[in-house]
Structure 1
Amino acid sequence: MLPGMARADDPVTVSKAENGLLIYSIMAEYNWRPLLHGFQALYPWIKVNCLDMGPSEVFERYYAETSVNRPSADIIVSSAPDAWMRFAAKGGIGAHVSREEASLPAWSRPMPGLYTLSADPMVMIYNKLLLKPEQYPDGLNRLAALAAENPLKFRKRVTTYDAAAHALAYAVHWAAITSGRPGGWDLMQRLSPAVRVESGGAAMMEKVTTGEYLVGFNVSAVTVWPQMATKGRSEIVDWTLDKDGTVLVPRGMAVTAGSRSPASARLMLDYLLSHDGQVAAAQGGLMPYRSDVRPDEVPYLTYDGLVRRLGGEDRIVHVGYDPTMLDHYQDFIARWNATFKARR
């Protein structure tokens, strides 16, 4: 092949004949904005349409559309390990080996074709105007002790995601409770008189700000960090990592087997995994995990920065792709509901 000539199967060449890119994700427009800016500077001819949905909805819509041979997502992005395992078992993940794979940690590429856009920590948030400085939580065990010492003050004024509400919430609590870090069902039982569950992070953030809740735990940092920039918020609310065990959720992504623009999709996925893509993801409020992303390139934390702040990787609870998560769903949710939703 002569210099300057492109191969017929070169993804850049093929992408120019494709009809744009459709992405189903659990990300808001402000999360995507810096990513799309960077991608379209490289590939300005690829029109990208990103739809923001729920962690399970992205898959359900894909199933419904492809079952009647309608165009559907070229890329799916979701923090729902259980749904990803079902999707893979149904042959939904398209074949792709990223050119960035050698630069990625093993935990971020759990199965062929499935990669990780970002690694999102779950954090604790608290209203610092309604708590004394010595009551600021730094972990769930400390929070449980505070609630036991001050039962009237804390009763139903602690919140977290409802594990029964959606796949992300289930995955977060499954990982934390089954790993025993920061604690298992015994810790949940101790916390239960203080806890009222919610379905979304934005609602938790708002209700901690207004004082309806004093503390939220296992709240996605992707929700918290951008909202901390809201005028006056940081004077009322602060956030911290759980020193007893910070849950880390992989934001999985893959080119779909049914993609009608597979070359464009592969270019996008490789960009998202690149150093520049990871920096752009951080600018959109996500946490990059490549080791070559420097702290001075991002507004919040990197994975390496998270490890340093916690004092070791052993304090991270990785949400993995564990098949037993699927097998024990009903039993787990039944126990969850009995713990947090039984009338007291």
Structure 2
Amino acid sequence: MLALIASIVAAPAVAQTEAEVRIGPADAPALIVRGTTDADIFLPVLRAFLATEPDLAIRYEQWGSNDLFARATEACAGGAEAADLLVSSAVDSVVRLANDGCAQAHVSEETATLPAGQLWRDEVFGITQEPAVMVVNRAAVPDAPVTRFDLIDMLRPGGARESLRVATYDIEESGLGYLFAFMDSLQATTFGSLIEAFDRSGAVATCCSAELIDGVIEGRWDLAYNVLGSYAEARAAESDEIAIVAPEDYTLMLSRAAFIPAGAARPEAAGRLVDFMLSGQGRAVLRANHLIPRIDGLGVEDDVSIRPIPLTPVLLLTTDAAKRRLFIELWRNTFPGDHAAGP
């Protein structure tokens, strides 16, 4: 049965940061940026911005997506210090915050260039392009699946890779994992067969991108499903053990979302950071740090297999409490039994 690592452990009563870094002049006022992006990936982008802002510093706080949403909701209600800018991969929660009146508008030449699916109400801005991919251990799976149909066939009883060890996100612990799984359920006629195959093969669910990729590199799992491509690409540049597959049947494409909270102390500086990330210079830095993909065979502009996750009110469906409860119940019912930790 699927091992949902820590999925039934209650969330912490107080939201907590995973890391905090201050960069820039020690005596300069600090822009507070809170995000889900790993600090080592995002800090080069922030440093490049500060090179254009010599009188500004940045305090970057790295958060888990669920904790970030909780802290932003608390700040919106006046119960905690607001950030100046939020950047999250759990884009459905960002749209929810904006819909609930927790964001302020920012309009510029750069934001005006964003396509409709990457801009909502001049409050939510898509700043990256990151595919959901499969990460495969080359030695264990030399015949890597290129579609979900291939993966399902491999996992069938008597299939070529019936004993394939698969891992994916724990959708209760990871806001991004929940979003990808929910969007899969809307996009794919394969969704029911896929999760049944995961159940049958004893797949594992765990917290985050780094854990999934590390597990494949270390040989604990043969394949990780729905991993955020930016992290996968960064690790593949360092490791020959893994291959990245953007599924040919369809590939979900995420635009990491930024917004300026209603209570931001420095909204003008936050707006300049948004504009920098949307500028040619900023996008070059984002690309260099794998936040815009360079995965072979993945043509972002014209690939018909790309399924963008739009920054629109459609995402409110994923944050509706009743729908979320039903979806997680479906997930648990599909994978019944003891939810003990996996390997």
Q: Please confirm whether the aligned pair reaches a TM-score higher than 0.5, indicating the same fold.
A: yes
* Paired residue type of 1:205: I
Is this contact kept in 2: 1:66–1:72, CA < 8 A? yes
Give, in angstroms, the shift of residue 22 of structure 1: 0.3
- The residue type equivalent to 1:268 in the other structure is L
CA contact (8 A) 1:119 1:249 kept: yes
Query: In structure 2, what is the Cα distance between the partners aligned to 1:337 and 1:111?
Result: 36
SS in 2 for 1:36: helix
- Match for residue 329 of structure 2? 334
- In structure 1, the partner of 2:248 is 243
Pairs aligned (count): 306
Amino acid at match of 1:242: P
Q: Normalising by structure 1, what TM-score?
A: 0.81
Give 3-state SS (helix, strand or coil) of 1:305's partner: coil
| Equivalent in the alignment of 2:146 | 138
Matched, 1:325 2:318: yes
| SS of equivalent residue, structure 1 residue 143 | helix
The one-letter amino acid of 2:177's match is A
Cα drift, residue 225 of structure 1: 1.3
State the TM-score, normalizing by the size of structure 2: 0.81
CA contact (8 A) 1:123 1:246 kept: yes
Q: Which amino acid aligns with 2:306?
A: I
Query: Which residue of structure 2 lines up, in the alignment, with residue 175 of structure 1?
Result: 183
1:149-160 paired onto structure 2 within 5 Å: 150=158, 154-155=162-163, 157-160=165-168
Offset at residue 341 of structure 1 (A): 4.7
Matches of 1:91 and 1:143, distance apart in 2: 42
Unaligned runs of 5+ in 2: 1-27
**Aligned residue number for residue 210 of structure 2:** 202
Q: Aligned runs of 1:1-344 on 2, under 5 Å?
A: 19-65=29-75, 67-68=77-78, 70-131=80-141, 133=142, 135-148=143-156, 150=158, 154-155=162-163, 157-180=165-188, 183-194=190-201, 195-230=203-238, 233-234=239-240, 236-287=241-292, 300-301=294-295, 305-307=299-301, 312-313=303-304, 315-320=305-310, 321=312, 322=314, 323-327=316-320, 328-343=323-338
Q: Deviations over 1:252-276 (max 9, x none)?
A: 1011110101111111111111111
DSSP-derived class of the 2:127 partner: strand
* Whole-Å separation in 2 of the counterparts to 1:302 and 1:149: 32
Provide closer, same or farther for how the CA distance between residues 250 and 145 of structure 1 changes in structure 2, counting only shifts above 3 A: same
Partner of 1:42: helix, strand, or coil? coil
Distance 1:42 1:139 in 2: 44
- Aligned-pair CA distance for 1:166: 2.4
**Unpaired runs of at least 5, structure 1:** 1-17, 289-299
How far apart in 1 are the matches of 2:167 and 2:216?
A: 9
Which consecutive segments of 4 or more residues in structure 1 shift more than 6 A?
A: none
Give, in whole Å, the separation in 2 of the partners of 1:273 and 1:221: 20
Distance in 2, Cα, partners of 1:64 & 1:110: 22
Q: What is the letter of the counterpart of residue 40 of structure 2?
A: Y
Specify whether residues 276 and 318 from structure 1 end up closer, same or farther in structure 2 by C-alpha distance, changes over 3 A only.
Answer: same
Change beyond 3 A, Cα 1:119–1:341 = farther
Q: Which amino acid aligns with 2:253?
A: L
Give the drift of 1:335: 0.6
Q: Secondary structure at the match of 2:56?
A: coil
Alpha-carbon separation, structure 1, partners of 2:52 and 2:126: 21
Which structure has the greater CA radius of gyration? Answer: 1
